[in-house]
Amino acid sequence: FIESLSTYARLFIEKIDRPDVDDIRNLRPAVALQQQNTIKTSRSTVGTLTEIHDYLRLLFSKIAQPYCPICGKLIKQWSPESIVEDLISNQKGKRAMIIFPSDKRVEELIRMGYHRFREDGEVILDRLIIGDEKRLTDSIETAWSEGGGEVIVDIVGDSIIRYTKKLMCSDCGFIAEQPHPMLFSFNHPLGACPACRGFGNVLKYVEDKIVPDKSLSLKDMAIEPWSKPSLRWWYKQLLRGAPKSGIDINIPYRELTEDKKRLLFKGTEYFYGLDDFFSTLEEKKYKLHVRVFLSRYREAVVCSECGGKRLKAEALSYKVASKDISEFLEMSISDLKNYIKDIKLSDHHKIISEEILKQIYDKLS
């Protein structure tokens, strides 16, 4: 049965060893039926129809690196080794205090042998001149574990550097999420753009459909949806309230200023606007005729939050060889194949991703 599953699915299943037995009786064979489902929905692309998207998500969860969407800088995950490396190469010869934050009580810290403190529960672990790698490593490692993955290095009279195990941009404070494979799926709430729920576009009410004939005045029923007999109430309250809000109901719609047109949507203290109207109707969307009615005034526009990439910013902040996952999915099969063949990766990442890249390459062939 397991052989009938995709390689990707098997990655999650083959964690159980084969049982150590010679003979099993009275066990019926498992039957697996293949689901025939090739219907292309608005959620499908080449990447979702094939297994390639799954492999790319796996690839991203293993080797993608997060870049801050605000400043574009690589967000590093610090470790004691990389902190020491950073300090030796950038702060050598300077006097520094190695500090860690703690929420323990002072009495307890004193019992543990710490005697120097700063305000806000910060413990001064060591004062040293950056240079002796052995001593620096010892101090940083201790501070890192006492501080639960947080170390503060006060370069005396210069700057304060905060190192954290969190995936955080040190300049902007943007925190990247852990690169779970689901983070790279627009079908999963963990990865989907919250504004368009992973569809890549949103439905917007558009002026051209609401006011198809802009030579009409408001009095001549320029606003088409409100000209329906059953919705005249909306029109009456507009014609009553608009003059009080400084809107001329006798001139053609196209001659109204942008500010006045905006008021027709937003409403004023004297009348309800089109936004109120549409949101009132949306509460009755469970009725088919309401949905049909609303759809006549809407158009799908590219989601401004994700730019049509369907994933949330935290997912798009991750890149492999300078491309985010949606840029991989947009590539044609032959482009993706060539790209993967010549992909530039660090030796470490090459080893981790070799098998996945080979699988993607084979699927594309």
Q: How far is the CB of 262 from Zn ion (least distance, A)?
A: 24
The reply on whether position 231 binds Zn ion by CB under 5 A is no
C-beta closer to Zn ion: residue 193 or 222: 193
Decide: is 195 part of the binding site for Zn ion (CB under 5 A): yes
- What are the backbone angles phi and psi of residue 314, rounded to the nearest 5°? -65, -35
Alpha carbon 156 to its chain centroid, in Å, reads 38
CB of 315 to Zn ion, least distance (A): 11
* 9: contact with Zn ion by CB under 5 A: no
Which span (115-123, 162-170, 252-260, 269-277) binds Zn ion, by CB under 5 A? 162-170
Let me know: does 69 contact 317? Beta carbons within 8 Å: yes
* Phi, psi (deg, nearest 5) at residue 128: -155, 170
**Smallest gap from residue 175 Cβ to Zn ion (A):** 11
How distant, in Å, are the alpha carbons of 224, 299, 300, 302, 351 from that of 209? 8, 9, 13, 18, 56
Is residue 311 near Zn ion by the rule CB under 5 A?
no
Give the residue among 127, 154, 129, 140 at the shortest CA–CA distance from 82: 140
- Asked if 169 touches Zn ion (CB under 5 A), the answer is yes
Nearest-angstrom CA–CA distance, 16 and 253: 71
Rg (CA), the chain: 31
Site size toward Zn ion (CB under 5 A) is: 12
State yes or no: residue 306 binds Zn ion (CB under 5 A).
yes
CB of 190 to Zn ion, least distance (A): 15
Closer by beta carbon to Zn ion, 43 or else 244: 43
Q: Which of 58, 303, 315, 360 binds Zn ion (CB under 5 A)?
A: 303
Region of 120-128, 167-175, 238-246, 326-334 interacting with Zn ion (CB under 5 A): 167-175
Q: Which stretch binds Zn ion (CB under 5 A): 99-107, 108-116, 145-153, 196-204?
A: 196-204
Is 167 an interacting residue with respect to Zn ion (CB under 5 A)?
no
Q: How far apart are CA 69 and CA 273, in angstroms?
A: 36
Only segment of 103-111, 185-193, 260-268, 271-279 that touches Zn ion (CB under 5 A): 185-193
Binding track, positions 45-74, relative to Zn ion; x by CB under 5 A: -----------------------x-xx---
Residue 70 Cβ vs Zn ion, minimum distance, rounded to whole Å: 5
CA distance 137 to 135: 5
Residue from 64, 193, 263, 316 touching Zn ion (CB under 5 A): that is 193
Q: What is the DSSP letter of 321?
A: T
Rounded to whole angstroms, the Cα distance separating 30 from 21 reads: 19
Q: How far is the CB of 346 from Zn ion (least distance, A)?
A: 22
**Contact yes or no for 341/313 (Cβ under 8 A):** no
- 196 counts as binding Zn ion under rule CB under 5 A: yes
Q: CA 74, CA 261: separation in Å to the nearest integer?
A: 44
In 3D, which of 234, 210, 240 has the Cα closest to residue 222? 210
User: Both tokens of residue 339?
Assistant: 């790209």
Q: Taking CB under 5 A as the rule, does residue 315 contact Zn ion?
A: no
Structure tokens at 85: 């490396």
> If binding is defined by CB under 5 A, does position 172 make contact with Zn ion?
yes
Structure tokens at 58: 């796996």
Where along the sequence are the contacts to Zn ion (CB under 5 A)?
68, 70-71, 169, 171-172, 193, 195-196, 303, 305-306
